[in-house]
Structure 1
Amino acid sequence: MNHSRFPILHSRPVFAWPCRVYWEDTDAGGVVYHARYLHFLERARSEWFRASGIGQQRLREQEGIVFVVHRMELAFDAPARLDDLLSATVAIEDLRSASFTVRQQLLREPEPKALVEAKVRIACLDAQKLRPRPIPNHLLQEITPA
């Protein structure tokens, strides 16, 4: 049963990236500061790209494209605390010609408990003009789940 605030539209593979909560992530009470959750989510998306064979620096330099966050919805369900081991997940939810949406969660391990859920729209832009452009077909094949 899916208890997600942002329901999964399709059964898709989920990428997970482990991360640890450090002092720099917390406030004086040892609770993760709300903006730091964005760092965990961003790193998971970057590692998901890398695991998919997509080097973002290479895309900018050789293909003239960049992927940027266009829209993000967040739900904070429970706090992460100092020294927590987290798992940041990424799953494709929707794919369009010039953008795609991923659903992400930050889970506290080892018994996964959802702390934060996000729905993130990623746009493909021309790196010079910073205007939307179609995602190249070879990249669509890389990010499209089997």
Structure 2
Amino acid sequence: MKIQYSPKNNPRVIIIQKLYSYFINKEEILEFPKHRFKKFIKDVVSGSIERNEYLEEELNKNLEINLKEKSFDKLFFIILKAATFELLYKPNLSINIIIKEYLNASNYFIEKNQTKYLNALLDVVGKNLRNSNERI
């Protein structure tokens, strides 16, 4: 049975919204309302913020491009970072699940042609990160 989330109940949509809110206004206090995935949401948001520079380094290294020089919109970059955090720190979740969930969530924020590009980037990052971590 496939679980369908409305945008306001989709954990990845909430993660993207919280991160976007934080990166637009770092003075804002992040609050996490009651949600069945509250711990997961809080963990990904807090972890992505705490490890922001490291996530950017990993993305630059694995995609072999300087993301700051690319003309990605802030939201696209946030989606990439949150997914990268999960790829690095949520080993129980498969690459395919993480990518699929972020692609579904990204449909609420970015255009379809950007979603295809996001899919390609996440696929490369996922394979590189998971393969390098398995060798350690």
Does TM, normalized by the shorter one, top 0.5? no
Structure with the largest fraction of helix: 2
Structure with the largest fraction of strand: 1
- The two structures have a TM-score, normalised by structure 1, of 0.27
Larger Rg: 1
